[in-house]
Structure 1
């Protein structure tokens, strides 16, 4: 079996030398030797420029983050009006222009019968700039079927994207890498294939930099993101737009029951899942595994997000002046939402998870819909989406869809 056409998707990948990663602190002496101490030093005496990669005055900046547009803090008291205002603010700060109405113009190839479902590749226009190849799985039977927009993780592994979740029947060269990833994080399962066997249409595409649209090198991420900013756009905003558009495409397929479409993701894919649900009402539900926290609780020395690089895929400039992560996810309320976290997950401190869950619970409770919100911590698990977690997500999808 041949590999996918390398021309599809690669045109949008901005290559170039990677940005250097700042890891060291600058001492007061270094700062003075460089030509001055700045306002903080003038007010409070000599101070280091950075604490690790954080500015010394980061506690003051964190204190200024009050998330005034959050439901309950916003002066808007009508929930539907609040949803419109909050979504409009997120849309504004995606920094990728207006919503894209480009026809999808899908082309279907590489169709193959599998055990209980049919797999095929579909190439479609998620934006006006590029056509993207995705895996599409359809259960046996007459349909229409419920459907899942499946969103892959980051993992600093770029040679595979959709192949992390769907077995690559179309490319033997990626199979070993995909199987290794599935074994490491998913108990050896391909989550998309499992869902298709359970009766769900599944769509899974590569984000920019992964699989057909890469591979991106780890230390190129900041350079790629800064080039987007220089072009008046945003790497994270592009991913958000593409995911929302993919949800619309999936919901519009004749084989899909438009009212029964969910987003499911792990790690960065979880972030993408609740974000897509906030931006697109075509998604009736979302399941997010191992990505939900309060921003302030995450922005602490030593946290992975402070390293730069990978964080740019999730960073919308200016949004924290208005909304926290759970506030954005709450735009999807009162639709059914599932959030799992691993109690041993080093990426998301327990206080951040607790803060986020409390905010989410308050919003769904205010809508008299707390039973539609499924929050769970797995105390013996880390940053994984293993079989018992998958089984619970699958059962939950069967129930809410």
Structure 2
């Protein structure tokens, strides 16, 4: 968090990534990972924004039981591991909203990869999220399946019966009219251009236009944060939260 004496301050829930690195969880906020342009903690604090990272089940100190074991148990019970993850992120929002050092009306969400998916879902489900930035995971799931590109995602993300009910852009569009930033690289396995384009189309339709939406699209980037993407994210967060 920013130094003492600067509160109350804006804050965000930082949703960590997956990357099959189960030993890493909340530490990503302060140490980063190879796919990122360094850790976000320093940049956020320098921007006057506090951050909280909830360690997700299957990662870090919570890596046992593992993802497959947890996901199967949830599915057999008619639940989902992804639902547990989102519930815990929402608990994090509640913690921030009640913290004396945080401006409850200025809480955001930020994440890369798995964290991206969690961030835009969180914005869709929790109206306390004022703005969200999602990096490198935003694509129409039905199109991913048609392209055979869906198996790169972990089983944590499996939600039975989801596709007949709603598409990616429609779900993310529940955040409207609150600000939402989507950052993608078109060489990213998780955001093939065809799947991203449909997701973007549905998202714009849900927002009734582009007001409130911000897109950063790099035609040459893979599953990685680029320097330009980092700058775009910080500019967005400073504008919408700080």
TM-score interval (norm. to shorter) = over 0.9
Give the greater-gyration-radius structure (CA).
Answer: 1
- The answer to whether the 8 Å contact 2:16/2:115 transfers is yes
Q: How many residues align?
A: 241
Task: From 344, 352, 355, give the equivalent of 2:195.
Answer: 352
* Cross-structure match for 1:394: 234
State the distance in 2 between where 1:320 and 1:301 align.
15
Query: Contact 2:142–2:163 at 8 Å: present in 1 too?
Result: no
TM superposition score normalised by structure 1: 0.57
Q: Which consecutive residues of structure 2, in runs of 5 or more, have no partner in the other structure?
A: none
2:186 counterpart residue number: 343
In the TM superposition, what whole-angstrom CA distance separates every residue of 1:84-137 from its partner, at most 9, and x where no partner exists?
Answer: xxxxxxxxxxxxxxxxxxxxxxxxxxxxxxxxxxxxxxxxxxxxxxxxxxxxx3
The separation in 1 between residues aligned to 2:216 and 2:83, in whole angstroms, is 29
Aligned to 1:158: 22
Could you report, residue by residue, the CA deviation over 1:308-365 in whole angstroms, capped at 9, with x for unpaired residues?
xx53222221222211111111111010000011021122210110111111112222
Q: 1:234 aligns with which of 80, 88, 92?
A: 80
* Unpaired runs of at least 5, structure 1: 1-136, 168-177
Match of 1:194 among 43, 59, 75: 43
Q: Which residue of 2 aligns with 1:263?
A: 109
Q: Given the superposition, is the C-alpha separation of residues 312 and 139 from structure 1 closer, same or farther in structure 2, using an over 3 Å criterion?
A: farther
Offset, 1:236: 1.1
Q: Which has the higher contact order (CA 8 A, sep 6+)?
A: 2
| Cα-to-partner distance string for 1:155-176 (whole Å, 9 max, x where unaligned) | 0001011112223xxxxxxxxx
Q: Which residue of 2 aligns with 1:211?
A: 60
The answer to whether the 8 A contact 2:15-2:109 is kept is yes
Aligned with 1:373 (options 205, 213, 232)? 213
One of 213, 221, 224 as aligned partner of 2:70: 224
Alpha-carbon distance in 2 for matches of 1:139, 1:319:
43
Q: Secondary structure at the match of 2:106?
A: strand
Is the partner of 1:205 in helix, strand or coil? coil
User: What is the CA deviation profile of residues 201-224 of structure 1, one whole-angstrom value per residue up to 9, with x for unaligned ones?
Assistant: 1101110010111156xxx53332
Equivalent residues of 1:161, 1:210 under 8 A apart? yes
* Number of the residue aligned with 2:223: 383
* SS of residue in 1 equivalent to 2:154: helix
Out of 133, 137, 151, the position equivalent to 1:306 is 151
Q: Is residue 265–residue 289 contact of structure 1 (8 Å, CA) maintained in 2?
A: yes
Q: Which runs of 4+ in 1 moved over 4 A?
A: none
Using a 3 Å threshold, how does the CA distance of structure 1 residues 291 and 231 change in structure 2: closer, same or farther? same
**SS of the residue 2:163 aligns to:** helix
Provide Cα deviations, 1:165-204, integer angstroms capped at 9, x if missing partner: 223xxxxxxxxxx6xx2xx2123x1112320122111101
What is the aligned partner in structure 2 of residue 247 from structure 1? 93
Aligned-residue RMSD, C-alpha: 1.8
Task: Provide the secondary structure at the position in 2 that maps to 1:162.
Answer: coil
Q: 1:140 to 1:263 in 2, by over 3 A?
A: same
Cα displacement (A) at 1:372: 1.3
The answer to whether the Cα contact below 8 Å between 1:150 and 1:192 also exists between their aligned partners in 2 is no
- How far does the alpha carbon of each residue in 1:291-323 deviate from its partner, in whole angstroms, 9 at most, with x for none? 1111221003541x236xx53222221222211
Q: Distance in 2 between matches of 1:143 and 1:288?
A: 26
Confirm or deny: 8 A CA contact 1:357 1:375 kept in the other structure.
Answer: no
